[in-house]
């Protein structure tokens, strides 16, 4: 028995009860059925919203917060990867732009701050030969 059949069974039981004046079950069902039908219409919509919140909205907000924190914590000498797949070392930071040193010749490249995908764990001081 799933939860929907359980819910509709409870609402059907409520609709079939007799009122205090001793009316028949059909009369009581006619009086209570609008309330039961309203509940049965609203409950699935509320459940859908709850599912969307916990499976879609909440994880996306959490991910957006992590990306924002990562972009705010960038510093010079961080090794980064852009969304275009370019690896470089940060040599300068301005408001919305980042200056990178790229390749063996340390060519300067300016990219937008939002275009940075990730900060690499490799530090340039430890692995200087491997980065060039």
The predicted pLDDT at position 20 comes to 44
**pLDDT 10s digit of each residue in the chain, 132 long?**
565 565 556 556 665 554 444 455 555 555 667 888 888 889 999 999 999 999 999 999 999 999 999 999 999 999 999 999 999 999 999 999 999 999 999 999 999 999 999 999 865 555 555 555
Is 66 in the same domain as 95?
Answer: no
Of 51, 71, 91, the residue at which a domain comes to its end is: 71
The predicted pLDDT at position 102 comes to 95
Token pair in block for residue 66: 């992590």
Is 85 in the same domain as 42?
Answer: no
Domain count, the chain: 2
pTM: 0.59
Do 10 and 1 contact (CB within 8 A), yes or no?
no
Is 10 in the same domain as 66?
Answer: yes
The predicted pLDDT at position 38 comes to 84
| Phi–psi pair at 44, nearest 5 degrees | -60, -35
Of 37, 55, 71, the residue at which a domain comes to its end is: 71
Is 83 in the same domain as 60?
Answer: no
The predicted pLDDT at position 59 comes to 95
Q: CA 22, CA 28: separation in Å to the nearest integer?
A: 9
Q: CA 30, CA 90: separation in Å to the nearest integer?
A: 72
Structural domain range at position 101:
75-131
Contacts of 70 (CB under 8 A, 6+ apart): 116, 118, 119
Is 95 in the same domain as 47?
Answer: no
Is 9 in the same domain as 67?
Answer: yes
Is 63 in the same domain as 103?
Answer: no
Of 71, 99, 121, the residue at which a domain comes to its end is: 71
Is 65 in the same domain as 16?
Answer: yes
Closest to 85 in 3D by CA, of 114, 113, 109, 118: 118
Is 23 in the same domain as 60?
Answer: yes
The predicted pLDDT at position 6 comes to 54
Contacts of 36 (CB under 8 A, 6+ apart): 11, 12, 14, 15
**What is the maximal distance between C-alpha atoms in the chain?**
94
């Amino acid at each position: 028995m799933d939860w929907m059949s359980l819910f509709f069974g409870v609402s059907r039981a409520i609709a079939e009860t007799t009122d205090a004046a001793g009316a028949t079950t059909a009369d009581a069902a006619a009086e209570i059925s609008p309330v039961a039908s309203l509940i049965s219409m609203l409950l699935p919509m509320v459940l859908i919203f709850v599912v969307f919140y916990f499976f879609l909205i909440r994880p996306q907000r959490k991910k957006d917060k992590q990306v924002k924190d990562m972009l705010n914590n960038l510093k010079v000498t961080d090794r980064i990867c852009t969304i275009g797949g370019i690896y470089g070392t940060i040599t300068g930071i301005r408001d919305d732009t980042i200056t990178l040193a790229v390749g063996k010749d340390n060519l300067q490249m300016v990219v937008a701050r939002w275009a940075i995908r990730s900060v690499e764990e490799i530090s340039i001081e430890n692995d200087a030969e491997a980065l060039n």
